[in-house]
Amino acid sequence: MSAALHFHDQRRTEAGLSLRDEVLAGFADTPKHVAPKFFYDRRGSELFDSICRQPEYYPTRTEELILRRAANDIAEIAGADASLVELGSGASRKVRLLLEALHPPRYLGIDISEEFLRRSTELLATDYPWLEVHAACADFSQPMRLPEDFDGRHPLAFFPGSSIGNFDPDEAQAFLGNLHGLLAEDGGLLIGVDLRKDRRTLEAAYNDRAGVTAAFNLNLLERIRRELDSDIEPDSFSHRAFYNEAASRIEMHLVSRRTQEVRVEGERFRFAEGESLHTENSYKYSVDGFRDLARGAGFRPLALWTDPQGLFSVHYLQR
Beta carbon of residue 84, minimum distance to ligand AVI (angstroms, whole number): 20
The CB density around residue 32, as the number of other CB atoms within 10 Å, is 19
CA proximity to 236, closest of 222, 206, 257 = 257
Beta carbon of residue 263, minimum distance to ligand AVI (angstroms, whole number): 27
Beta carbon of residue 38, minimum distance to ligand AVI (angstroms, whole number): 12
Nearer to ligand AVI, 125 or 215 (CB): 215
The answer for residues whose C-beta is within 8 angstroms of residue 207's C-beta and 6 or more apart is: 56, 213, 214, 239, 241
Beta carbon of residue 268, minimum distance to ligand AVI (angstroms, whole number): 29
Output DSSP code: residue 210: T
Beta carbon of residue 282, minimum distance to ligand AVI (angstroms, whole number): 3
* Omega cis (within 30) before 31: yes
Under a CB-based contact definition with an 8 Å cutoff, are residues 69 and 305 in contact? yes
The footprint of ligand AVI (CB under 6 A) covers 51, 161-163, 165-166, 206, 213, 280, 282
Indicate the residue whose CB is closest to ligand AVI.
282
Nearer to ligand AVI, 53 or 69 (CB): 53
Whole-angstrom Cα distance, residue 209 to residue 223? 23
Nearer to ligand AVI, 83 or 113 (CB): 113
Whole-angstrom Cα distance, residue 208 to residue 18? 30
Q: How far is CA 28 from CA 25, 135, 167, 192, 201, in A?
A: 5, 36, 21, 34, 34
Under a CB-based contact definition with an 8 Å cutoff, are residues 254 and 277 in contact? yes
Beta carbon of residue 319, minimum distance to ligand AVI (angstroms, whole number): 23
Under a CB-based contact definition with an 8 Å cutoff, are residues 59 and 50 in contact? no
Nearer to ligand AVI, 82 or 157 (CB): 157
Nearer to ligand AVI, 86 or 280 (CB): 280
Beta carbon of residue 219, minimum distance to ligand AVI (angstroms, whole number): 11
Whole-angstrom Cα distance, residue 187 to residue 81? 11
Whole-angstrom Cα distance, residue 194 to residue 198? 12
Nearer to ligand AVI, 173 or 282 (CB): 282
Nearer to ligand AVI, 163 or 230 (CB): 163
